[in-house]
Structure 1
Amino acid sequence: MRTFAIGDIHGGLKALLQVLNKLELQEEDRLIFMGDYVDGWSESAQVIEFLMNVSKKITCTFIKGNHDVWCQNWLKDKSDVNTSWYLHGGKETIESYEGFTDDEKKQHLIFFENMNMYFIDEKNRLFLHAGFTSMHGVEKETYTHNFCTDRTLWEMALVMDKKIDLNNNLYPKRLRHYNEIYIGHTPTINYGETEPMNAINVWNVDTGAAFTGKLTAMNIDTKAFFQSDDLPSLYPNEKGRNK
C-alpha cells in the first residue's frame, strides 16, 4: 500500500487531475488530503464533487482546512458570508456553486462536516492542515481551531537545527509525540521553494497551488513527490488568490 499526502488544492481541479494521473493509483493505495480544497481558482465546487466520487473508489482521508471551515459555514447558512473569506477566494467559491442543486449543496455540506481535524496513522505519523500548540499533543489541544490556522509549529520547526536528535532535551515536546508530522496551510513558495519542505520531523506539502505554485502529492514512505503544472498556466484567464 502506498500513501500519498496531497497539498492544498484551492479550487484547482485541473491540477488535481494532473497529479492523480501521475500517481497511477491502485485500489490498495491511500490518499490523505491536507485541506483547503476550495477558494482560489474557479472549480471549488467541482473539486468537492470529484473528491466525493474518488472516495468511493479508493481509501481517502480528508483533513479540514481553514478555508473549508468558511465554506462549510456558508453552505450551512447562505447569509453567513465572512468578509475575510469573500476577499480571499470565497467569491470564486460561491460562483463555482452556480448550477448546483440544493440537494447537491447539502451533500457537500455533509462532506465538509465529516472531515477530520487531524489524522494519526498506524506508524504514528500525524496529518493536519496547519499545526497545534499543546505540548501534550493534538489530543490535549484546547483550541482546536489551531488545527487549521496555527503557523507556529512550522515556524518552530524551521528555526531548529536539523541535527538535533529526537532524544535531545532541546527537542520541543510538541514534536516528540509523532514520528513525522505532515502539514499544508503555509505555502513553501513563501520561502522561495517550489517543492515540499522538511524541517526536523515536519513536512510541508503546500507548494502554493492557491497562488503561483503547483499542487503536490508526496509518497510519505519514499518521499518521492509528483507535481502539477503551475496553476496560473492551467487557469490563464484567472488570478486565483494572486489579487
Structure 2
Amino acid sequence: MKRTLVFGDIHGGLKALIQLLERVEVKQNDRLIFLGDYVDGWGESAQVIDFLIELSQKQECVFIKGNHDVWCHEFLMNDVINDIWFLHGGKSTIESYQNIESKEKHLDFFANMKDYFVDENNNLFIHAGFSSMHGPEKEHYASNYSWDRTLWEMALTMDTRIQKDSVSYPKRLLLYNEIYIGHTPTLHYNVEIPMQGCNVWNIDTGAGFYGKLTCLDSATKEFWQSDVVQTFYPTEKGRNK
C-alpha cells in the first residue's frame, strides 16, 4: 500500500535524516511530505537541500516552506542576513554554503516549496498554521503559514470531551479531516514524540535542539525516530533556544 509519510523539522541534521529514512524503510510508491525548516541548526543545511533535491528525483516528495526556509531563501537570493535569523541557526547555514559552488538548484528548490498541501483525504499539511476561519487559501497574512502558533495552541488546550459534531468545536479545525504541523517543538511540553491536539498532529520533536527527527505514517499513526540529533554533531551546539 502507498503510505503518506510526514517528516518533522530537519534543521540541518542530514545524518539523522538518512538514519530515519533507513528506519522507515521507504518504498518506491510512498509519498514523503516534509513540513519545512530544512535548514538552520546543525552544520549540514546546504547538504540537506542537496540530498532532498536528489531524493525528489526518485521519490514523490512534497516540500512545505518553513520560516527558517524563508530566511535562507532571502539570503540566497539577495545575500541578506536577517539579524534574528543569524542568531537562530542562520550562522551555521551560511557556513554550510561556503563550499557550495552553484546555488541555482537550491534557489529553484526554495522557490518551488509549497505554503501548504491538502491531500486526497482532506488532510492539511502546513508548517505552522493559519488564522482565517475559511482556511489557508483565504489567509490575509502569508507569514502565518510559517509562523502562526494559535492553531496549535487552540487545539492543545481544547477540552477533549468536546466532539467534532459539537457546536463548540473550533470551526478552523473542522475545515480538514486532520492537520499536520511542525514549527513548535514538542520538547517545549517535555514530550519527545509526536503530539496530538484535537485533529492536529505536531511532528516537530525538536531535532534542531536536543531532540530527535520524526516521521509519522498519516494513516496508521505509526512513527519512527532518529537518534538524538545532537549525537551526530557532538562538537556543535545546534540552535539557540
With the shorter chain as reference, the TM-score category is over 0.9
Match of 1:208 in 2: 206
Match of 2:154 in 1: 156
Residue 64 of structure 1, CA deviation: 0.1
2:6–2:215 CA contact under 8 A, matched in 1:
yes
Distance in 1 between residues matched to 2:21 and 2:170, nearest whole Å: 35
What secondary structure does 1:228 align onto?
strand
1:75–1:106 CA contact under 8 A, matched in 2:
no
> What are the Cα deviations for residues 191-234 of structure 1, in whole angstroms up to 9, with x where unaligned?
00000000100000000001010000000100000000111111
Residue 242 of structure 1, CA deviation: 4.2
Match of 1:88 in 2: 88
Q: How does 1:1-243 map to 2 (within 5 A)?
A: 1-78=2-79, 80-101=80-101, 104-242=102-240
Moved over 2 A (4+): none
Distance in 2 between residues matched to 1:97 and 1:143, nearest whole Å: 30
Distance in 1 between residues matched to 2:7 and 2:143, nearest whole Å: 21
Distance in 1 between residues matched to 2:166 and 2:107, nearest whole Å: 45
Distance in 1 between residues matched to 2:71 and 2:155, nearest whole Å: 28
Distance in 1 between residues matched to 2:10 and 2:38, nearest whole Å: 5
What secondary structure does 2:74 align onto?
helix
Residue 92 of structure 1, CA deviation: 0.3
Distance in 2 between residues matched to 1:140 and 1:146, nearest whole Å: 11
TM-score normalized with structure 2 length: 0.98
Distance in 1 between residues matched to 2:162 and 2:17, nearest whole Å: 36
Residue 15 of structure 1, CA deviation: 0.6
The letter for the 2-side match of 1:142 is H
TM-score normalized with structure 1 length: 0.97
> What are the Cα deviations for residues 134-168 of structure 1, in whole angstroms up to 9, with x where unaligned?
01111111111100000000000011022321121
Count of aligned residue pairs for this structure pair:
240
Distance in 2 between residues matched to 1:98 and 1:159, nearest whole Å: 44
Residue 107 of structure 1, CA deviation: 1.1
Taking only aligned residues, the RMSD between alpha carbons, in angstroms, comes to 0.8
